[in-house]
Chain A
Amino acid sequence: MPSATAPARSPAVAQPSADLPSAPPPVSGGQPARVAEAQPSAPERPATAPGYISVKDYDFFYGQSQALHGINVEIPERQVTAFIGPSGCGKSTLLRNFNRMNDLIEGCWHKGDILIAGKTIYDRRLEVTGLRKRVGMVFQKSNPFPKTIYENVVYGLRIAGGYRKHELDAACEYALRASALWEEAKDRLHTSALGLSGGQQQRLCIARAIAVQPEVLLMDEPCSALDPLATSKIEELILELKRDFTVVIVTHSMHQAGRVSDRTAFFYLGKLIEYDTTKKIFTNPGHKQTENYITGRFG
Chain B
Amino acid sequence: MSANTDDAGNGSQPAGRPDSDKGAAWRVRPATSDRPSGESWVWVTGLGLTAGLVMVVLLLGLVVYEGVAVFWPKRVELITLHPEKGAAADSGARLAGEIVQSRTRRDLTRGRDVRELQMFVGNREAYAQSMNFRWVDEDSIAAREQPADIVVVERLAGGDAFGFPVEVRLAAGGKKETIAASDPRFFGELDKLIAAAVMVQANMDQVRRDHLNPLNRRIKAEEMSVRRAKEDNDAATVAALEASLAADNKAVVGHEAKLAEIAGGLTGNALVIRRAEGGKTEIRAADLVDWHRPNDAGVVGRTWHFLGNMGNFMWQNPRDANTEGGIFPAIVSTFFLTLLMSVAVVPFGVLAAIYLREYAKQGLFVRAVRIAVNNLAGVPSIVFGVFGFGFFVYFVGGGIDRWFFSDRLAINEPTFGTGGVLWAAFTLALMTVPVVIVATEEAIAAVPRGMREGSLATGASKWQTMQRIVLPASAPGILTGMILAMARGAGEVAPLMLVGVIKLAELPLGGVWKDTDLIPFVHLDQKFMHLGFHIYDLGFQSPDSEAAKPMVFATTLFLIGLVVLLNLGAIRIRERLRRKYQTSAF
Contact = CB atoms under 8 A, between A and B. Distances in A.
A132 B455 CA distance: 10
Given A145-B454, A145-B469, A146-B580, A212 B459 contact: yes
Interface stretch (A113-121, A136-144, A287-295): A136-144
A101 interface: yes
A75 interface: no
A194 B580 CA distance: 10
Interface in B549-586: 580-586
Contacts of B472: 146
A159 B467 CA distance: 11
Given A194-B582, A198-B586, A143 B453 contact: yes
Given A106-B362, A198-B586, A139 B450 contact: yes
Given A139-B450, A143-B448, A145-B455, A159 B582 contact: no
Interface stretch (A48-56, A201-209, A258-266): A201-209
Contacts of A212: 458-459
Contacts of A139: 450, 453-454, 457
A104 B455 CA distance: 13
Interface string B115-143: 00000000000000000000000000000
Contact of B583 (A130, A133, A146, A155): A146
Given A101-B453, A159-B464, A142 B458 contact: no
Interface string A122-135: 00000101101100
A27 interface: yes
Interface string B440-479: 0000000010111111111111001000110011000000
B450 A160 contact: no
A2 B461 CA distance: 30
A242 to B, nearest CB: 19
Contacts, number: 86
A139 B453 CA distance: 9
A81 interface: no
A183 B586 CA distance: 22
B139 to A, nearest CB: 75
A99 B380 CA distance: 50
Contacts of B458: 132-133, 136, 155-156, 159, 208-209, 211-212
Contacts of A198: 586
A133 B450 contact: no
B581 to A, nearest CB: 5
A144 B452 CA distance: 10
B53 to A, nearest CB: 36
Contacts of A127: 461
A132 B451 contact: no
Interface in A175-198: 194, 198
B469 A136 contact: no
B56 to A, nearest CB: 36
Interface in A205-231: 205, 208-209, 211-212, 225
A106 B359 CA distance: 12
A129 B459 contact: yes
Given A106-B362, A144-B584, A146-B580, A130 B453 contact: no
Contacts of B454: 139, 143-145, 205, 208
B455 A155 contact: yes
Contacts of A299: 3
Interface of B: 3, 362, 448, 450-461, 464, 468-469, 472-473, 580-586
22 contacts: A99-B457, A104-B452, A129-B459, A132-B458, A133-B459, A139-B450, A143-B454, A144-B454, A145-B468, A146-B580, A146-B581, A146-B582, A146-B584, A155-B455, A156-B460, A159-B460, A160-B459, A194-B582, A198-B586, A208-B454, A208-B458, A209-B457
The 5 closest A-B pairs by CB, nearest first: A133-B459, A156-B458, A143-B450, A137-B457, A143-B454
Given A104-B456, A139-B453, 8 more contacts: A27-B459, A101-B453, A129-B461, A139-B457, A143-B454, A145-B451, A194-B584, A211-B458
Interface of A: 27-28, 99, 101, 104, 106, 127, 129-130, 132-133, 136-137, 139, 141-146, 155-156, 158-160, 194, 198, 201, 205, 208-209, 211-212, 225, 299
